[in-house]
C-alpha cells in the first residue's frame, strides 16, 4: 500500500494485526508489504459475520463498482466487532486532487496537486511523507462517508425492515441507523503522540507551540485553533500592560471608575490626569481589536500556504455526510447528490427554528430579571447587616447567573445540533451566544447606566467563567483519567494479549472545538467591549490563557479519542464573528465614554445640551468606524508573498485544467469515441 516514513512507529502500532489479513489491491503501484492502520470501525456486539464480510467486501471494491477502494482488516477475529481500514496509494493521490490540497513540487514550490502530473511532486511514492497522518485519516473517513448503494439491495444478516438499502442511499448512515456501526474514529499513533506531548504540554517554557507537528498529527482544524489561541495570548500583553499602568501607577487609579458610598454613581479623582484612564482604555480597545484581527488574517494566510490548504476545493464540495434529501442532479456541479427544496427549508426555519430561538432568548430575559431581583435582595440585606457574610453574598447573584447562562448555552448548542441532523437547519450560534452572554452587560451599561454594577458584573463573569472552564475542561477530566480510570488502564497494561487498537475505544469522543472558540469569543468581547470599565480584564485573560494552552493540549492528547480533522484554510465563521465584535466595540466604547464622569463634567461645564451630546457621540462613533475601516484597508489580509503564491497556484491550476481538457479531446478523437462517458471504461481514466 504505502512505503513507510517512520517505520518504527508504524510497526509498533501494527504488530497486533496480521499483515496477511489485509484485503488486496490490483494496482501494482499500490502493493506494499506493510499497511498502516488508520481508521477503526466499531461494530455492534451482535453483528453477524456475514454482515461484517459484506462490509469488508464493500470497502475493498473499486469505486467503479460502488465501493470505496480502500483496504480493510477484520481485526483479531473475523467474527469480532471491529474493522480496521487503510487506503492504497492511488486512492490517497486521487483524493488529494479532489480536496484541492497543495503539495511541494519538484522545484520546492507549493502547487495544487494534480494526479496526471503526480510524478513531478516530491515524496509522491511515500504517503507518510507526502500526506500528514491527519490528512490520510480524513481521506479514509471521507471515502467511507461517500459510499452509496448503486441499486436497491438488502444488507446481509439484518432483518428485512431496517436492512433494505434504497438506490443511492448513503451506506454508512444506513448502517449506523440499523445498529450495525457504533462508531468510526481515527487511530492514535502512540509513539508520535508521546513525542508530540513532550514538545507541547510537558515542556517548561510558557510560550511557543509545535504548530507544524500539531497540524501533521491532528490536522489543520485543530492547528488553526491552537495557533489562534497562541497569537491571541501574545496579543493580550499590550492591553494587560496598559491595564496595570492605569490601575496601579497613574494617580487615582488612572481614572478607574469607583463607586460612591451609598450611591450608584461614578467618580474619578480630581488629582487624576487630564485625559482619564477611562477614555484611554476605550480608544485603545477600539484600535487594538482592529490591529489584532487584521494581523491575525495575515498570520492565518501564511499558515494556510505553509500547510497546503490555500487552494482548497471547498466551494463545490458535496453535502455533509448527515445531509438528507431527495436524490437529484446538483445544478451547479452536475453531480448526483441529495437535494433539499428551499421552500421546505424556509418553512422549517419559520415553524421550528425561529420559535425555538425565541423561546431560548425569552429564557435569557427571564434569567436577567431573576438576576436583578436577586441583586436587589442581597443589596438590601447588605445595607441592613453590613457583615462580611453579606458582603460575600453580593457576588452570589452574578455567579448564579453565570451558571445559568452556561447551561442555556449548552442547551442551545444541543438543540442546534439536533435540528441540523433532523431538519437540515443550521441555527446561528453566534447571535444566541452574543445575546446570552452580553445582553445583561449592555442592559446594565446603557439602560440602567450603573457602571459600578457593570464593573462588578464583568469581574464576576471573568473570574467565574475562568474557574468553571478550568474545572470542567481540565480538572475533572484529569481526575477521572488519573484516578477513576487508573485501575482499568492497569488491567489493560497487564494483559499482554490486549488489542492496543481496540483499547482506544475506552476513551470518550473528542467534543470538538465549539466550546473552545466560544470561550475565546467571549473573552474578546469582554475585552473589546467593556474593558474601559475594568482595565484588569486583559490581565486576568492573559493569566487564564497561559494555562489554557497547556490544558487544552493535555486534554486532546490524553483524555479523548483522536478526532477527524478536515483540511481548512482558516478559522471559518469564527473569524467573521471576531470581526463583527470588533465593529460592535466601536459603538460600545463610544457610548461608555459618554458615561465617563470626566466627559459628563466637561459637558456640564461647557453647557452642552443632552441632544448635542448624543449628536457628538454619533459623530465620534462614525469617525472611529471610518478610522477602523481605513486601518483594515491599509493592512492587507495576506502578505504580498502569499498573494503572489496564491495567484501562481490559481494560474497553474488553470493551465493544468486546460491541458487535461485538451488531452481528453485528443483521446476522444484518437479512439473514435462518440459518447464521452465511454472514457470511464478506458484504462488510466
Tell me which residue of 568, 114, 128, 639 sits closest to 308, measured CA to CA: 568
| pLDDT computed for residue 428 by the predictor | 62
Q: Which pLDDT band, with edges at 50, 70 and 90, does 625 fall under?
A: confident
Grid cell locating 278? 477611562
Tell me which residue of 444, 439, 471 sits closest to 456, measured CA to CA: 444
Grid cell locating 581? 465584535
State the Rg of the chain over Cα: 29
Tell me which residue of 144, 183, 178 sits closest to 51, measured CA to CA: 178
| pLDDT computed for residue 588 by the predictor | 86
Taking residues 64-75, what's their average pLDDT? 88
- Tell me how crowded residue 273 is: count the other CB atoms within 10 A of its CB: 17
Taking CA 187 as the corner, what is the angle to CA 184 and CA 190, rounded to the nearest 5 degrees? Answer: 160
Grid cell locating 664? 481528453
Grid cell locating 374? 436577586
Most distant CA pair in the chain, distance = 98
The SS3 assignment for 464 reads helix
Distance (Å, rounded) from C-alpha 192 to C-alpha 520? Answer: 29
Question: Which residues neighbour 510 within 8 Å (Cβ) at sequence distance 6 or greater?
Answer: 556, 560, 561, 562, 563
Position 17 pLDDT exceeds 60: yes
Tens-place pLDDT, residues 489-517: 554 444 433 456 666 888 889 988 988 99
Residue 441: in which H helix or E strand, if any?
helix 429-442
Tell me which residue of 252, 203, 268, 122 sits closest to 598, measured CA to CA: 268
| pLDDT computed for residue 668 by the predictor | 59
Grid cell locating 349? 426555519
Tens-place pLDDT, residues 89-132: 999 999 999 888 999 988 888 888 988 888 899 999 889 999 99
pTM for the whole structure: 0.84
Q: Which pLDDT band, with edges at 50, 70 and 90, does 62 fall under?
A: confident
Q: Which pLDDT band, with edges at 50, 70 and 90, does 81 fall under?
A: confident
The SS3 assignment for 329 reads strand
Lowest mean per-residue pLDDT among 337-351, 394-408, 659-673: 659-673
Q: Which pLDDT band, with edges at 50, 70 and 90, does 355 fall under?
A: confident
| pLDDT computed for residue 335 by the predictor | 57
| pLDDT computed for residue 159 by the predictor | 78
Cβ 682 vs Cβ 671: under 8 Å? yes
Tell me which residue of 2, 5, 11, 1 sits closest to 189, measured CA to CA: 11
pLDDT top residue among 276 and 624:
624
Cβ 180 vs Cβ 44: under 8 Å? yes
Distance (Å, rounded) from C-alpha 552 to C-alpha 516? Answer: 9
Tens-place pLDDT, residues 174-203: 898 888 999 999 999 988 998 998 888 876
Distance (Å, rounded) from C-alpha 528 to C-alpha 581? Answer: 8
Q: Which pLDDT band, with edges at 50, 70 and 90, does 35 fall under?
A: confident
Distance (Å, rounded) from C-alpha 259 to C-alpha 510? Answer: 45
Tens-place pLDDT, residues 468-478: 777 776 676 66
Phi/psi-derived region of residue 592, left when phi > 0, alpha when psi is between -120 and 50, beta in every other case: alpha
Cβ 528 vs Cβ 289: under 8 Å? yes
The SS3 assignment for 639 reads coil
Residue ranges of alpha helices (H) inside 323-428 are 342-348, 354-385, 388-393, 396-423
Tens-place pLDDT, residues 139-183: 999 999 888 888 888 888 887 767 777 777 888 888 988 889 999
| pLDDT computed for residue 677 by the predictor | 45
First-last CA distance in the chain:
20
Lowest mean per-residue pLDDT among 225-234, 276-285, 286-295: 276-285
Lowest mean per-residue pLDDT among 92-106, 378-392, 602-616, 628-642: 602-616
Tell me which residue of 533, 592, 571, 680 sits closest to 226, measured CA to CA: 571
Question: In sequence order, what DSSP letters do the residues of 31-69 get, joined into one string?
Answer: --S-----EEEEEPTT--HHHHHHHHHHHHS-GGGTS--
The SS3 assignment for 396 reads helix
Average pLDDT over the chain, rounded to whole? Answer: 79
Question: In sequence order, what DSSP letters do the residues of 176-202 get, joined into one string?
Answer: HHTTSEEEEEEPP-HHHHHHHHHHHTS
Tens-place pLDDT, residues 217-256: 999 999 999 999 999 999 999 999 998 988 887 655 444 4
Question: Which residues neighbour 332 within 8 Å (Cβ) at sequence distance 6 or greater?
Answer: 316
Q: Which pLDDT band, with edges at 50, 70 and 90, does 663 fall under?
A: low
| pLDDT computed for residue 301 by the predictor | 93
Tens-place pLDDT, residues 553-609: 988 998 889 999 999 999 988 888 899 888 888 888 888 877 777 777 777 777 777
Q: What are phi and psi of 512, to 5 degrees?
A: 95, 180
Taking residues 678-683, what's their average pLDDT? 44
Question: In sequence order, what DSSP letters do the residues of 495-555 get, joined into one string?
Answer: -TTS-HHHHGGGSPPP--SHHHHHHHHHHHHHHHHHTTT-TTHHHHHHHHHHHHHHHHHHI
Distance (Å, rounded) from C-alpha 94 to C-alpha 97? Answer: 5
The SS3 assignment for 384 reads helix
Grid cell locating 80? 469480532
Lowest mean per-residue pLDDT among 332-346, 400-414, 611-625: 332-346
| pLDDT computed for residue 254 by the predictor | 43
pLDDT top residue among 91 and 650:
91
Position 296 pLDDT exceeds 90: yes
- Report the percentage of the chain scoring pLDDT > 90: 22
Amino acid at each position: 500500500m504505502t512505503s513507510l516514513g517512520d517505520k518504527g512507529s508504524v510497526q509498533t502500532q501494527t504488530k497486533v494485526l496480521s499483515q496477511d489479513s489485509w484485503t488486496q489491491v490490483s494496482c501494482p503501484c499500490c502493493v506494499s508489504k506493510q499497511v498502516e492502520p488508520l481508521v477503526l470501525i466499531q461494530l455492534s456486539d451482535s453483528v453477524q459475520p456475514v454482515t461484517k464480510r459484506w462490509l469488508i467486501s464493500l470497502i475493498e471494491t473499486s469505486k467503479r463498482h460502488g465501493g470505496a477502494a480502500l483496504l480493510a482488516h477484520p481485526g483479531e477475529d473475523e467474527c469480532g466487532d471491529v474493522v480496521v481500514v487503510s487506503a492504497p496509494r492511488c486512492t490517497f493521490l486521487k483524493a488529494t486532487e479532489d480536496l484541492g490540497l497543495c503539495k511541494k513540487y519538484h522545484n520546492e514550490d507549493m502547487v495544487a496537486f494534480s494526479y496526471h502530473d503526480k510524478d513531478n511532486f516530491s515524496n509522491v511514492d511515500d504517503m507518510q511523507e507526502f500526506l500528514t497522518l491527519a490528512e490520510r485519516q480524513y481521506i479514509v473517513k471521507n471515502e467511507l462517508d461517500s459510499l452509496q448503494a448503486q441499486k436497491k439491495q438488502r444488507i446481509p444478516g439484518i432483518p428485512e425492515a431496517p436492512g433494505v438499502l434504497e438506490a443511492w442511499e448513503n451506506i454508512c448512515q444506513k448502517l449506523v441507523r440499523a445498529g450495525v456501526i457504533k462508531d468510526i474514529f481515527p487511530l492514535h499513533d502512540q509513539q508520535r503522540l508521546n513525542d508530540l506531548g513532550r514538545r507541547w504540554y510537558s515542556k517548561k517554557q510558557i510560550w511557543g507551540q509545535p504548530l507544524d507537528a500539531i497540524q501533521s498529527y491532528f490536522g489543520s482544524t485543530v492547528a488553526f485553533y491552537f495557533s489562534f489561541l497562541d497569537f491571541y495570548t501574545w496579543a493580550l500583553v499590550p492591553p494587560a500592560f496598559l491595564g496595570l499602568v492605569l490601575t496601579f501607577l497613574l494617580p487615582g487609579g488612572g481614572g478607574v471608575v469607583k463607586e460612591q458610598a451609598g450611591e450608584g454613581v461614578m467618580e474619578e479623582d480630581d488629582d487624576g490626569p487630564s485625559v482619564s484612564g477611562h477614555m484611554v482604555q476605550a480608544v485603545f480597545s477600539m484600535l487594538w481589536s482592529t490591529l489584532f484581527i487584521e494581523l491575525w488574517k495575515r498570520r492565518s494566510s501564511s499558515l494556510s500556504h505553509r500547510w497546503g490548504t490555500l487552494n482548497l476545493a471547498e466551494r463545490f464540495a458535496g453535502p455533509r455526510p448527515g445531509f438528507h434529501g431527495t436524490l437529484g442532479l446538483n445544478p451547479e456541479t452536475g453531480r448526483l447528490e441529495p437535494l433539499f427544496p428551499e421552500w421546505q427549508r424556509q418553512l422549517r426555519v419559520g415553524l421550528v427554528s425561529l420559535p425555538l430561538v425565541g423561546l431560548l432568548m425569552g429564557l435569557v430575559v427571564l434569567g436577567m430579571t431573576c438576576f436583578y431581583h436577586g441583586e436587589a435582595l442581597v443589596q438590601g440585606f447588605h445595607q441592613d447587616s453590613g457583615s462580611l457574610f453579606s458582603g460575600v453574598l453580593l457576588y452570589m447573584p452574578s455567579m448564579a447567573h453565570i451558571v445559568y447562562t452556561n447551561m442555556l448555552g449548552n442547551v442551545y448548542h444541543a438543540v442546534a445540533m439536533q435540528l441540523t441532523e433532523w431538519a437540515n437547519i443550521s441555527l446561528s450560534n453566534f447571535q444566541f451566544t452574543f445575546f446570552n452572554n452580553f445582553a445583561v452587560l449592555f442592559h446594565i451599561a446603557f439602560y440602567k447606566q450603573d457602571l459600578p454594577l457593570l464593573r462588578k458584573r464583568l469581574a464576576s463573569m471573568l473570574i467565574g467563567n475562568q474557574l468553571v472552564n478550568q474545572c470542567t475542561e481540565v480538572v475533572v477530566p484529569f481526575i477521572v483519567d488519573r484516578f477513576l480510570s487508573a485501575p482499568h488502564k492497569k488491567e489493560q497494561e497487564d494483559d499482554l494479549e490486549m488489542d492496543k487498537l481496540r483499547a482506544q475505544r475506552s476513551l470518550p469522543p473528542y467534543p470538538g472545538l465549539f466550546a473552545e472558540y466560544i470561550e475565546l469569543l467571549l473573552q474578546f468581547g469582554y475585552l473589546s467591549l467593556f474593558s474601559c470599565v475594568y482595565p484588569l480584564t486583559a490581565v486576568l485573560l492573559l493569566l487564564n490563557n497561559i494555562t489554557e494552552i497547556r490544558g487544552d493540549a493535555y486534554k486532546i492528547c490524553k483524555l479523548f479519542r483522536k478526532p477527524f480533522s478536515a483540511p481548512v484554510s482558516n478559522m471559518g465563521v469564527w473569524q467573521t464573528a471576531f470581526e463583527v465584535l470588533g465593529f460592535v466595540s466601536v459603538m460600545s466604547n463610544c457610548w461608555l465614554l459618554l458615561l465617563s464622569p470626566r466627559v459628563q463634567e466637561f459637558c456640564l461645564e461647557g453647557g452642552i445640551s443632552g441632544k448635542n451630546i448624543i449628536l457628538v457621540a454619533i459623530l465620534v462613533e462614525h469617525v472611529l468606524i471610518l478610522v477602523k475601516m481605513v486601518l483594515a484597508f491599509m493592512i492587507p489580509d495576506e502578505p504580498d508573498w502569499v498573494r503572489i503564491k496564491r495567484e501562481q497556484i490559481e494560474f497553474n491550476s488553470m493551465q493544468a485544467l486546460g491541458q487535461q481538457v485538451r488531452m481528453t479531446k485528443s483521446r476522444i478523437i484518437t479512439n473514435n469515441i462518440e459518447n464521452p462517458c465511454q472514457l470511464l471504461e478506458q484504462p488510466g481514466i
